[in-house]
Chain A
Amino acid sequence: MIEIKMEIKDDKQYIARVLKGDSGAYAFLVKKYKSMAYSLALKLVKNREDAEEIAQDAFVKAYQSLGQFRGSSRFSTWLYRIVYNTSISRLRKTTAEVVSLEDSAVEAKESSEVMDAYYCLKEQERKKFLDLALEKLDPDENFLVTLYYYDDRDLDEIAQITGMTRNNAKVKIFRSRQKMLGLLKEYLNDELTMIL
């Protein structure tokens, strides 16, 4: 909570400087949020060049509209919303098809077994599994779980960023988690088969 307040305070100071004409102060905000902005775009468009272009466009759009930023949310929330909208527009233009992964949710009983097995994995294996699982999720699910579990955004902020309702975001995150557990089960089975 304190970290968030500090983040808001810092960002506000730099935004005020940009609004007073010091456009160089914007570099601080670009440096701070470039990785997350780029990473979120990449999760949606799945192409490095496009993601980089989208993230750049988002920063430029945010700069041009900075006078309209009211500060009712975090700057990063506002920026990620621009990233999300720009990515969605790009996807619509290229009419990219999003291939949906079949629901592979696991039963509650199985779930605890899967998790016990998960905690037996080494750190390197956990990382390897995470990369594999994220790749298999739908782009929007990948986007949502990253915001929720990695960037610690709450459901209200995720709703603001994506334009979904809070409940819709909650349901999607729940489904994504179930899918990831299903994938983890498959992954663990594969690993076991390889060992045997």
Chain B
Amino acid sequence: MKKQEKIEERMMKDLFSHHNISEPSTSFEERVMYRVSVERKYDPEIYRPVIGRNGWIIISVIASVLVFLSIYYGNDGVGYLDRLFSFKPKLDYTGIEIAGIMQRIGKLFSSTSSIVIWILAGMLGMTFVLIGEQMFQQLTLRKK
């Protein structure tokens, strides 16, 4: 800041130190509080979603995992792209062993295309989280 400007600034500060701001009427506070009690359409405390953000993340992850397990797991050896085009959810968990599951989950990340699909699933999941939260917020406000 230039020297001249600094001097002007100091003068303005000094000038405004003599400023008295205007006061509203004596009943101002009382009237605002009356309007607050009468006009409030909803209590500002209110919005608390039934399912929180973390809840939605867990739900989305579980949903995504289930969808992909149903696409990948099968005994007929058909690839997942073929399954996408003739998709029939198949959730038969009988006879699945834990070691086998781990091995198969490992395979899910073994190719580039699988990783891309998982990234897309993650993005889809996050979209669900945001949409879900918005919907709950709207519903909660509408109820009030």
B21 near A36 with CB under 8 A, answer yes
B1-44 contacts to A, CB under 8 A, are: 4, 7-9, 11-16, 18-25, 28-29, 31-33, 35-37, 39-44
B87 within 8 A of A: no
User: Contact: A38 with B4, CB < 8 Å?
Assistant: no
B46 within 8 A of A: yes
- Interface 0/1 of A108-148, CB less than 8 Å to B: 10011001001100010011011000100000000001100
Over the window 54-67 of chain A, the binary record of Cβ atoms lying under 8 Å from chain B Cβ atoms (1 yes, 0 no) is 01100110011111
Chain B residues touching A, range: 35 or more
Number of A residues near B (Cβ < 8 Å) is 47
> Are B7 and A60 within 8 A (Cβ)?
no
Which residues of B lie under 8 Å from residue A18 when comparing CB positions?
44-45
Chain B interface: which of A4-12, A23-31, A89-97, A160-168? A23-31
Complex CA gap A110/B44 in Å reads 55
A39 touches B15 (CB 8 A): no
Interface residues of A in 78-100 (CB under 8 A from B): none
- Give the distance to chain B from A42, nearest Cβ to Cβ, in Å: 5
Q: Which of A38, A42, A181 has the most CB of B within 10 A?
A: A38
Flag if A34 contacts B29 (CB, 8 Å): yes
Question: With contacts defined as CB atoms under 8 Å apart, how many contacts are there between chain A and chain B in the complex?
Answer: 111
**CB nearest neighbor in B for A52:** B24
B47 within 8 Å of A (CB atoms): yes
Would A31 and B29 count as touching, CB distance under 8 A?
Answer: yes
A26 near B18 (CB under 8 angstroms)? no
Q: Interface centre among B13, B32, B33, by most A CB within 10 Å?
A: B32
- What is the predominant secondary structure among interface residues of chain A facing chain B? helix
B47–A67 contact, CB under 8 A? yes
Q: Which of B13, B20, B22, B29 contacts A27 (CB 8 A)?
A: B29
Contact partner of A123 (CB less than 8 A), chosen from B18, B28, B32, is: B18
Q: Which residue of B lies closest to A67 (CB)?
A: B44
Chain B contacts with A in 53-105, Cβ cutoff 8 A: none
Residues of chain A contacted by B14 (CB below 8 angstroms): 126
In contact, A30 and B8 (Cβ under 8 angstroms): no
List of A residues within 8 angstroms of B4 by Cβ: 108, 111-112
Query: What is the CA–CA distance of A64 and B31 in the complex, to the nearest angstrom?
Result: 16
* Residues on the A chain within 8 Å of B39, using CB: 60, 64
- Do A177 and B32 have beta carbons less than 8 Å apart? no
Asked, given contacts A30-B29, A56-B32, A130-B19, whether A35 binds B45 with beta carbons under 8 Å apart, the answer is: no
Instruction: Tell me which residues across on chain A come within 8 A of B13, comparing CB atoms.
Output: 149
Determine the distance from Cα of A18 to Cα of B24 in the docked complex, in whole angstroms: 23
Contact call B16/A118, Cβ cutoff below 8 A: no
Beyond A30-B28, A35-B22, A48-B22, 5 extra complex contacts between A and B, CB < 8 Å: A30-B29, A30-B32, A60-B39, A67-B45, A130-B19
| In the complex, the 9 A-B pairs of residues with the closest C-beta atoms, listed nearest first | A39-B21, A149-B16, A38-B24, A66-B44, A127-B18, A67-B44, A150-B16, A59-B32, A39-B22
Contacts A/B (CB < 8 Å), 9 sampled? A19-B44, A23-B40, A27-B29, A31-B29, A35-B24, A38-B28, A56-B28, A129-B15, A177-B12
